[in-house]
């Protein structure tokens, strides 16, 4: 081979290597940076065809819906689709207002979840803050509730005896009591990226943003007089404001959950004294940010012996602007506030116990 031919071969080889490198880099970016499309008590009442109207109030971060297998545009369409749902069903909601209280009780699978999806202009409207669950998911598994708006019910989204479900990118607003509630042995669920506001319009005492489990006083009504073990739930990346009670209330009987990277605003709280109340056991409270509390930022309480313990707080930022503590541990025993946490404008300082190096 002459000298010129050798030079041409060398140049072609270098170009081929460069192209291969670009392919590898693009492949890595696609693998590590991509997002999957599913990664968000009352009987249903027939309603009229959806009215074209934008959702009021805060808007959740947009989440791309999968391609629907069923498209709905009225409350009746939606009820029929929920009743007929099976593994792999993707219910796509057109923009508009779906009036009524809606219930679903089918089971998806890990490989084929059931998806109910819309955008912020797809509004489930319960019609009154005095009564009804706007959306009730019960005795179910492997659902994805994604992207739509829920408003005007006594409770917004109620989840009973449901597992492996994602509630993602919803806007839940204008509720008589709490906005989103996981209870009655609901386990291994994820509540992520939702925008929650304006709760407690019926009874401020019950106006939590996100509520996990059941109070011991209600165990006999909800969980056969046993602790409501709504365990291993993850509450992540939610924005919560305008609640009249805690932004997040984690009840006795729940264990091993994660509360991570949420944003709390306690300026509307009138029937509680912290953003977060942890009465469960073994929870990790990590990377949350809060502003403006009536007293403390985060609290633990032992309502039932052995509960309210073994919880770990790390990397949280508490701008309390109140007279109490950033992190109030009651009981102190077996709860840990790591030194990675911070508290500012807290009248009594960081914590009632020295922080731990972790």
Position 305 in a domain = yes
Query: What CATH number has the domain bearing residue 317?
Result: 2.160.20
Please confirm whether the linkage preceding 329 is cis (ω < 30° from 0).
no
Position 337 in a domain = yes
Split at pLDDT 50, 70, 90, the class of 281 is: very high
Sign of the C-alpha dihedral computed for residues 195, 200, 204 and 209 taken in this order:
negative
Position 144 in a domain = yes
End-to-end alpha carbon distance in the chain: 67
Helix, strand, coil share of the chain (percent; to 5): 15, 35, 50
Core vs surface per residue 7-34: b (16+ CB within 10 A) or e: eeeeeeeeeeeeeeeeeeeeeeeeeeee
Position 357 in a domain = no
Sign of the C-alpha dihedral computed for residues 132, 120, 165 and 268 taken in this order:
negative
Position 238 pLDDT exceeds 50: yes
Assigned token pair, 307: 């509960």
Position 142 in a domain = yes
Position 231 in a domain = yes
- Domain limits for position 135: 3-351
pLDDT of the residue at 32:
30
Q: pLDDT tens digit string along 41-99?
A: 333 333 333 443 333 333 444 668 999 999 999 999 999 999 999 999 999 999 999 99
Mean pLDDT of 162-180: 98
Position 358 in a domain = no
Cα–Cα distance for residue pair 33/30, rounded to 1 Å: 5
**CA-closest candidate to residue 209, choices 178, 251, 172, 166:** 178
Position 240 in a domain = yes
**CA-closest candidate to residue 176, choices 159, 210, 153, 195:** 153
Cα–Cα distance for residue pair 233/59, rounded to 1 Å: 24
Query: How many domains are contained in the chain?
Result: 1
pLDDT of the residue at 63:
64
Q: pLDDT tens digit string along 90-143?
A: 999 999 999 999 999 999 999 999 999 999 999 999 999 999 999 999 999 999
Cα–Cα distance for residue pair 237/310, rounded to 1 Å: 23
**Coil, helix or strand at residue 205:** helix
**pTM score, whole prediction:** 0.83
Strand partners, 96: 122
pLDDT of the residue at 62:
60
């Amino acid at each position: 081979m002459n000298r010129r031919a050798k030079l041409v071969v060398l140049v072609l080889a270098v170009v081929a290597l460069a192209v291969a490198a670009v392919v590898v880099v693009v492949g890595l970016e696609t693998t590590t940076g991509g997002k999957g499309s599913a990664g968000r008590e009352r009987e249903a009442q027939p309603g009229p065809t959806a009215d074209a109207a934008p959702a009021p109030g805060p808007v959740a971060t947009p989440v791309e819906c999968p391609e629907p297998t069923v498209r709905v545009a009225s409350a009746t369409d939606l009820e029929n689709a929920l009743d007929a749902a099976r593994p792999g069903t993707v219910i796509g909601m057109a923009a508009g207002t779906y009036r009524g209280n809606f219930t679903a009780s089918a089971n998806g699978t890990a490989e084929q979840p059931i998806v109910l999806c819309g955008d912020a202009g797809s509004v489930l409207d319960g019609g009154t803050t005095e009564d009804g669950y706007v959306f009730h998911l019960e005795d179910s598994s492997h659902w994805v509730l994604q992207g739509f708006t829920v408003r005007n019910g006594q409770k917004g989204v109620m989840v009973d005896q449901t597992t492996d479900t994602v509630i993602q990118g919803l806007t839940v607003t204008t509720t008589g009591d709490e906005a989103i509630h996981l209870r009655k042995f609901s386990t291994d669920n994820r509540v992520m990226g939702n925008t929650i506001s304006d709760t407690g319009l019926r009874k401020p005492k019950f106006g939590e943003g996100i509520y996990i489990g059941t109070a011991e006083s209600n165990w006999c009504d909800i969980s056969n007089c046993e602790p409501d073990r709504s365990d291993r739930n993850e509450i992540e990346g939610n924005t919560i404001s305008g609640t009249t009670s805690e932004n997040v209330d984690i009840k006795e009987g729940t264990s091993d959950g994660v509360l991570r990277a949420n944003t709390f605003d306690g300026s509307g709280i009138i029937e509680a004294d912290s953003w977060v109340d942890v009465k469960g056991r073994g929870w990790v409270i990590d990377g949350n940010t809060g502003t403006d509390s009536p007293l403390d930022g985060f609290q633990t309480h032992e309502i039932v012996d052995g509960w309210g313990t073994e919880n770990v707080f790390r990397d949280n930022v508490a701008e309390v602007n109140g007279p109490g503590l950033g992190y109030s541990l009651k009981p102190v025993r077996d709860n840990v506030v790591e030194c990675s946490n911070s508290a500012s404008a807290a009248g009594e300082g960081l914590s009632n116990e020295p922080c731990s190096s972790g």
